[in-house]
Amino acid sequence: MMIIATKISEVREQVRAWKAEGLTVGLVPTMGYLHEGHASLVDRAVAECDRVVASDFVNPTQFAPGEDLESYPRDFEHDCALLEQHGCDMVFYPEVSEMYEQDAATYVEILSDMPKQLCGKTRPTHFRGVCTVVAKLFNIVTPDKAFFGQKDAQQLAIIRRMVRDMSYGIEIVGCPIIREEDGLAKSSRNTYLNAEERQAALVLSKAVRLGQELVKSGERDAQKVVGEMVSLIEGEPLTRIDYVSAVDGITMENVTEITDGTLVAMAVYVGKTRLIDNFIAEV
């Protein structure tokens, strides 16, 4: 039976017992409302580690005022069924008060330009919240490996930098984007879309395929690749572009030339729902 832990002390006690047996531990951090994308992270963790812990916590510090913290979808019973089905050994499901003291005043923040690019332009405090909660989870679970999805490419790059800078002895494993049959990247926020918006949202994955095809055909001008993708997205009347950018896959700085490893990423509003997608250039 999968262990359901709500207290930090419970997680620490169980992980200590596992490590005393010489077992390796993998961590899959999530905000719940799990789908096949999360399941793929758990599968990868199960394949690479002896024991797997998933966190299920909607982290308030990464939401700005007016964002969808209160309406963010939640279904813990479904989450538990999916995690157990995929071989997760323990789910950490804390209350906000367990994770953050009422007078908490300590944050983990990257002060380079990395968090200011892409999603950080319109969500300036988002990655401070992400780094803080992930650092706390690393301290609580002390995993050997942690598994993150490539769909959140900027988050993945920032976590890698934090782990390097803070000397965490944790291997960060990036896992491929999981898509619906029609191409839409799996996301908990897809549930916000009505039928018309759900169809319109396909323009994101179409733009990803267009960008990949342009790069494959030899186009190396980042502005041209992004421009073609923007034109395609703007042809869908239900969308509003937050950004479409070609950046260095490590630093997140804008680039003018597409090279191997360039990240081409986008955030697009479909109706009121903000969706993200991306691809890594292979040259």
Of 38, 78, 86, 126, which one is the catalytic site residue?
Answer: 38
31: exposed, middle or buried (Cβ count in 10 Å: 0-12, 13-18, 19+) = middle
The β-bridge relationship of strands 51-56 and 90-92 is: parallel
Alpha carbon distance 226, 208 (integer Å): 10
Which of 252, 250, 249, 277 lies closest to 265, judged by CA?
277
Q: List CB contacts of 17: < 8 A, sequence separation 6 or more.
A: none
Pairing status of strand 273-280 against strand 3-5: unpaired
CB 146 within 8 Å of CB 173: yes
Which helix (DSSP H) or strand (DSSP E) does residue 175 occupy?
strand 171-175
d(CA 65, CA 82): 31
Residue 222 amino acid letter: A
86 is catalytic: no
Structure tokens at 107: 């944050």
| Phi, psi (deg, nearest 5) at residue 236 | -100, 110
Phi, psi of 197 (to 5 degrees): -70, -35
Beta bridge partners of 269: 240, 274
* 46 Rama sector, left if φ>0, alpha if ψ -120 to 50, beta otherwise: alpha
Q: What are phi and psi of 173, to 5 degrees?
A: -110, 115
CA neighbor of 184 nearest in space, from 73, 276, 72 = 276
Catalytic residues: 38
